């Protein structure tokens, strides 16, 4: 093992753990916290879906990260900013009785403002961390650590959606809801303070100029030309629709699954505790999501993306029916609920593999780095827009009819697949074409 590879073990796991945590906070923990604090489903979906915006527009400010300072500087700066933002949220929740049953209070607005800071810092951290990874390691080392990156990102998901939510549930019975979540965010602030100090000590200073990554597509082409090149790709209209609509049903479901579990049976929900949701959705669910992704990657590597597109599209959509079944059941057991979540998340992880490979397929070409960033922005937009309406739709329809609507939204996903033009060999072996 080379000296550089040995050193990489000291910072890659912690860096991608740090990358995963704030994303989970913005996308999942915020939903559960605001539900616990009494915010309506309509407001939860609207306000938390807006938090996707930094990932939607991330390609447009990524050049700033390349041109100003170094990737290491941006990583450390964003980790310190995240620590401060988490600390402010903790102070607000612990110093005020944040009850959102009657609308947004001053404390509620402050927490939302800080979650916006978390979202922008997280998206910027993603840009810097991935850029630093590509600069610090050669191609062989990047391949060696790609699985480690993914593993520790998933560990962050389990920590956030599982352990931290379970901690909130434990503290609720002793401190009350607001102070319990204040304790969770105080824990996050301490964690990111430790991570920032740790990375200051162990992330090597590999960049020696302000503009260290001069070969980046954005520095050569200009954003307008890059976008024009992207829009002239073959079959681009179908590709755009597919990137926006492939996860339509999941975009609606993801915003209402946790509120559905937490709402009382009288309100049409399952009546689970916060700790039970943390175990079902954030621990068992994330493990199954990860397993599905691994299996999906292996299948594509063996037979190619085209051969698996239909099975994976069906896997990411049809298991959503478990929520229809649960909504019509009377007092289902926690074991049954957890099993249903496991099935849905396993299918989601398996089906999501096809989506990510398709983004890589669309991004191929001279400017693949920047074009892939455009694709991931469209991916985030496809989650943000339906998610904003999910709470209002659920309030109007009730959980039972809302989940039926989720199943109807499977149709656009499946209707687009016959229109896709995918090379039969793409994705086989190591994904080279």
d(CA 108, CA 208): 43
Percent share of the chain, pLDDT over 70: 88
Is residue 214's pLDDT more than 70?
A: no
Question: What is the predicted pLDDT for the residue at 188?
Answer: 96
Summarize the confidence of residues 97-110 as an average pLDDT.
74
Mean pLDDT (the chain, rounded):
84
The DSSP string of 98-109 is ---TTS--HHHH
Classified by CATH at the fold level, domain 1-214 comes out as Growth Hormone; Chain: A; (1.20.1250)
**299-347 tens-digit pLDDT:** 887 888 888 899 999 999 999 999 999 999 988 999 999 999 999 989 9
Burial string for 273-288 (b: 16+ CB within 10 Å, else e) reads bbbbbbbbbbbbbbbb
Question: What is the predicted pLDDT for the residue at 432?
Answer: 44
Question: What is the predicted pLDDT for the residue at 240?
Answer: 92
Using DSSP's 3-state secondary structure scheme, residue 273 falls into: coil
Positive or negative, the CA dihedral 311, 152, 51, 35 is positive
Among 329, 320, 314, 348, residue whose Cα is nearest residue 253: 320
Is residue 430's pLDDT more than 90?
A: no
Whether 45 and 391 have beta carbons less than 8 Å apart is answered as: yes
Flag the least confident range among 6-10, 19-23, 38-42, 82-86: 6-10
Is residue 6's pLDDT more than 90?
A: no
Summarize the confidence of residues 202-213 as an average pLDDT.
64
Tell me the H-state helices in 25-138: 30-36, 41-49, 53-56, 58-67, 71-95, 106-136
Question: What is the predicted pLDDT for the residue at 241?
Answer: 93
Cβ burial, residue 431 (10 Å; 0-12/13-18/19+): middle
d(CA 258, CA 249): 15
Summarize the confidence of residues 197-215 as an average pLDDT.
69
pLDDT confidence bin for 222, thresholds 50/70/90: low
Question: What is the predicted pLDDT for the residue at 1?
Answer: 46
- CATH 1.20.1250.20 residue ranges in the chain? 1-214, 220-433
d(CA 13, CA 18): 9
Summarize the confidence of residues 391-396 as an average pLDDT.
93
Is residue 396's pLDDT more than 90?
A: yes
Per the CATH hierarchy, to which homologous superfamily does domain 220-433 belong? Answer: MFS general substrate transporter like domains (1.20.1250.20)
Whether 315 and 373 have beta carbons less than 8 Å apart is answered as: no
Is residue 397's pLDDT more than 50?
A: yes
Taking phi over 0 as left and psi of -120 to 50 as alpha, with beta for the rest, 429 belongs to left
Question: What is the predicted pLDDT for the residue at 142?
Answer: 62
Is residue 217's pLDDT more than 80?
A: no
Q: 14 versus 213: which is more confidently predicted?
A: 14
Question: What is the predicted pLDDT for the residue at 314?
Answer: 93
**235-291 tens-digit pLDDT:** 889 999 999 999 899 899 988 998 999 899 998 999 998 888 888 887 888 888 888
* CA dist 91 → 114, 122, 184, 193, 395 (Å): 11, 21, 11, 16, 32
Is residue 190's pLDDT more than 70?
A: yes
Question: What is the predicted pLDDT for the residue at 215?
Answer: 46
Is residue 185's pLDDT more than 80?
A: yes
Summarize the confidence of residues 401-415 as an average pLDDT.
93
d(CA 100, CA 19): 29
Question: What is the predicted pLDDT for the residue at 2?
Answer: 55
pLDDT confidence bin for 408, thresholds 50/70/90: very high
Using DSSP's 3-state secondary structure scheme, residue 382 falls into: helix
């Amino acid at each position: 093992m080379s000296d550089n590879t040995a050193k990489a073990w000291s910072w890659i796991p912690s860096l991608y753990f740090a990358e995963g945590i704030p994303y989970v906070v913005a996308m999942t923990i915020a939903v559960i916290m605001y539900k616990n604090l009494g915010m309506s489903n309509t407001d939860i979906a609207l306000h938390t879906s807006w938090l996707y915006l930094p990932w939607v527009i991330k390609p447009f400010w990524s050049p700033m990260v390349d041109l100003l300072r170094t990737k290491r500087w941006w990583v450390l700066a964003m980790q310190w900013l995240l620590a401060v933002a988490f600390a402010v949220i903790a102070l607000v929740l612990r110093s005020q009785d944040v009850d959102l049953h009657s609308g947004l209070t001053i404390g509620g607005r402050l927490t939302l403002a800080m979650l916006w800071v978390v979202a922008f810092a997280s998206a910027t951290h993603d840009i810097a961390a991935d850029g630093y990874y590509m600069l610090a390691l050669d191609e062989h080392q990047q391949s060696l650590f790609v699985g480690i990156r993914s593993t520790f990102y998933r560990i962050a998901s389990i920590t956030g959606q599982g352990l931290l939510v379970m901690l909130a549930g434990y503290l609720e019975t002793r401190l009350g809801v607001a102070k319990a979540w204040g304790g969770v965010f105080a824990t996050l602030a301490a964690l990111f303070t430790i991570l920032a100090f740790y990375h200051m000590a162990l992330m090597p200073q590999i960049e020696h100029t302000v503009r260290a990554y001069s070969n980046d597509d954005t520095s050569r082409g200009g954003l307008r030309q890059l976008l024009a090149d992207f829009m002239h790709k073959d079959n681009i209209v179908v590709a755009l629709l597919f990137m926006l609509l492939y996860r339509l049903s999941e975009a609606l479901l993801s915003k209402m699954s946790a509120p559905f579990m937490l709402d009382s049976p009288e309100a049409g929900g399952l009546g689970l505790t916060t700790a039970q949701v943390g175990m079902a959705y954030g621990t068992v669910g994330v493990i199954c999501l990860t397993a599905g992704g691994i299996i999906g990657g292996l299948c594509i590597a063996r037979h190619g993306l085209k051969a698996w597109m239909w099975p994976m599209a069906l896997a990411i959509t049809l298991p959503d029916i478990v929520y229809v079944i649960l909504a019509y059941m009377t007092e289902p057991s926690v074991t049954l609920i957890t099993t249903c979540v496991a099935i849905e998340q396993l299918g989601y992880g398996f089906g999501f593999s096809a989506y990510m490979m398709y983004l890589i397929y669309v991004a191929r070409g001279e400017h693949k780095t920047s074009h892939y960033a455009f694709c991931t922005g469209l991916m985030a937009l496809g989650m943000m827009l339906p998610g904003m309406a999910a709470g209002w739709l659920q309030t109007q329809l009730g959980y039972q009819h809302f989940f039926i609507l989720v199943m109807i939204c499977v149709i656009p996903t499946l209707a687009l697949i016959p229109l896709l033009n995918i090379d039969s060999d793409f994705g086989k072996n190591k994904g080279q074409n």
